[in-house]
Amino acid sequence: MTARIQSATVERHRHLMVPLVLIVVLLIVAALRGPSLFTRDGIGGAIIVVTPLILASLALTPIALVGRGGVDLSVGPLLGFINCTLVKWLVENGWTNPVAVVAYVVAAGIVYHCIIAAIILYARVSPIIVTLSGFLVLVGVNLVVLDRPSGSAPEWMDGWGYGTSIFSPVAIILLVMIALWFLFTRSSFFQQIRLTGADERMAFANGVNSVAARFGAHIVAGIYTAIAALTYTALIASGDPTQGTTYTLAAITALVLGGTSLGGGTGGGLGSILGAISMYLISYALSTFDFGSIAGFVTSLSTGLILMISLLINSVMNFRSGRAYD
């Protein structure tokens, strides 16, 4: 019995092997090439930069887990929309109370995802088509709201993006959101999301309301995207209608690097967190080399190669595991 439990535990966490090994390798490279990362300022700066990506990756996780090939392609533009409207509509009109700001960003994230979920579930449109449409719409809307990077974050955010302290307000927000995530994973609702993604017919047979599970997954995604936008605003201390779009590719890459299957049912938040940290470490490690004008190309190429190798390793592991149970 004990051996069977241990085997099940290993099977459940097998998807974490690749991101863990990758992080260890990248940390060794960073220690050799750029040891300043491991100073107080280095760690503080890393937390400020990686927090929006970690939260955006967590936002994608429940949508991917619930299945049907769902992945929110609009996560980056939604992050940018909340950032731009926070600066343009709230701060410029004097609405800078912390409670009002947090309430607005969370409400914006939830409302958007409720609309997306309703279209997917009731109009029965493919999630990829719906979220791609949302991506395109929000990219245009962001440029209408704010035609160029400008404005400023609320005054109470002053200093949040300096990265001179490990335990900054952004770090506290990150710890709170991670703690809330792991409390969420202990709930029966999270198990319903995972069961729906693994086998929707079996979930239905066991009394799981798949519609509620998918709606709930989108609501959680909206909350985490909203807080990601808040920390992104703290990072850049202004509004930017363009940079948010880059978070879509980065967050999806982090999600996949973390071992979460886009087919649903497999993976989890810890993998997404590790994947996001890996993305940051890849950029940091490559920045210690002098690639000149092709630095951006090398970063994209390296990230793509690492992602392909990780997917290949996970596929081989899944295949061998499947044969072991045949």
- The answer to whether the CB of 40 falls within 8 A of the CB of 243 is no
- Per the model's pLDDT, the better-predicted residue between 324 and 219 turns out to be 219
Average pLDDT over residues 101-120: 96
Per-residue pLDDT, averaged over 80-98, amounts to 95
**Weakest-pLDDT range from 40-44, 123-127, 159-163:** 159-163
Residue 11 pLDDT level (bands cut at 50, 70, 90) = low
Phi and psi, residue 151, nearest 5° = 80, -175
% of the chain beyond a pLDDT of 90: 57
Residues 6+ apart with CB under 8 A from 195: 202, 203, 206, 208, 265
> In this predicted structure, what is the pLDDT of residue 315?
66
Identify the residue whose tokens are 């190798």: 309
Which residue in this structure is represented by tokens 């202990």? 186
Higher pLDDT pick, 311 / 46? 46
Where residue 52 falls among pLDDT bands split at 50, 70, 90?
very high
Confidence of residue 267 (pLDDT cuts 50, 70, 90): confident
Q: Which position has the token pair 């092709």?
A: 294
Taking the domain 42-315, which CATH number applies? 1.10.3470
* CA-to-CA dists, residue 114 to 57, 132, 299, angstroms: 19, 16, 35
Three-class secondary structure of residue 324 per DSSP? helix
Which of 90, 87, 59 lies closest to 75, judged by CA?
A: 59
Centroid of chain to Cα 20: 17
Structure confidence at residue 270 (pLDDT): 93
pLDDT of residue 326: 38
Higher pLDDT, 1 or 222: 222
Residue in the structure block whose two tokens are 């909340």: 82
What is the C-alpha to C-alpha distance for residues 294 and 286, in angstroms, rounded to an integer? 11
Residues 145-149: contacts with CB under 8 Å, at least 24 apart: 145/81, 145/84, 145/85, 145/88, 145/89, 145/241, 146/84, 146/87, 146/88, 146/239, 146/240, 146/241, 147/241, 148/241, 149/236, 149/238, 149/239, 149/240, 149/241, 149/242, 149/243
Domain ranges across the chain = 42-315
Identify residue 72 by its one-letter amino acid code: D
Mean pLDDT for the stretch of residues 25-32: 92
Task: With residue 271 as reference, give the H or E element that holds it.
Answer: helix 269-287
Please report which confidence band the pLDDT of residue 69 belongs to, taking 50, 70 and 90 as the band edges. Answer: low
Res 235: pLDDT = 94
289 pLDDT tier (thresholds 50, 70, 90): confident
